[in-house]
Structure 1
């Protein structure tokens, strides 16, 4: 199976160029007003056009209504919809069918017992994104909190489940995360930022370089 590296929460042309030039396979644009990485539709449209043909374009949405999805699809023309809220498996199926785009569903993980929720979502979505459960604070975001979960719990995961590993990854620990989990796809946002919501091109490049080295795909 191919290896994939995703840089999420991109909001400027300069950061996007850094990700694309370093060889990101997927780039993510956040449509969630509470997030410091949120992009307006016109901003997202321009970024998506910049990335077209160079990487898969992902739009992240949180418990979206159909109108919000339609707006994002029309403006950004994403290759993949990422659902990062409390969407049920039935809602995932509905969105996938209605909008004709592949869907990646984020599922929060804190302990081995959380893996039981994956099978229903795995049947509904094209891919799962395994992220750390958010802190129990009123101001906590659904994702992008820079927190990792205990990767060792994934030893009990059904190997047939296609997933992307997220949560607390950085240029310094992504190789270890790949080694421990065997994940063939990784996602980062906070771990390549110099300040909240501000991507650091050097860290973006370092993350992609470290992941490629761990996968043995440097130069490809």
Structure 2
């Protein structure tokens, strides 16, 4: 993007990724879509939407999934993003004169049903369609992470926990500090008792010195002599 921005003649256009961002209630009752709406359909689809067809969207027709009602446009088949798709001229005519059923979802997913009942689903392969799928996956991953931290009360029942706040984290930290002060390491309830006959204790056990005992007794007599 940085290289394209500094190249001669390059330009960038911000595209609103929201579904139906280019829809117009007045133009929805006209058969021919606006240039902006047709360009969004091609950016979304990428190729012909018939299963197995790879004709680029720029060489396709923008067709109404539900036929436009020329006698009464308000009755159905509006010229909106949720009712438009790219079809090459061959598959455009095939859709018009065959008994196949085309069902377009709001996100651009197309479900095609043959007269025998076989169902095929295709997804838009254009940059706008790919961006929407990436955003949907990111939102799903973020929601799953949020549910792992704090489950939804409606689904988790009594096991749900509120999201930790600054004050709850501070209270937990102070409680841990008070516990460490009241019970130093190795003295708290449930702390394992050290082995009384361990190898380290046998190597470092205090040794009673007879000289030290005699010195202590002499100091006691000099500093605190008996009253008789």
Q: Into which bin does the TM-score normalised by the smaller protein fall?
A: under 0.3
TM-score (norm 2): 0.21
More helix by share: 2
**TM-score between the two structures when normalised by the length of structure 1:** 0.21
Higher strand share: 1
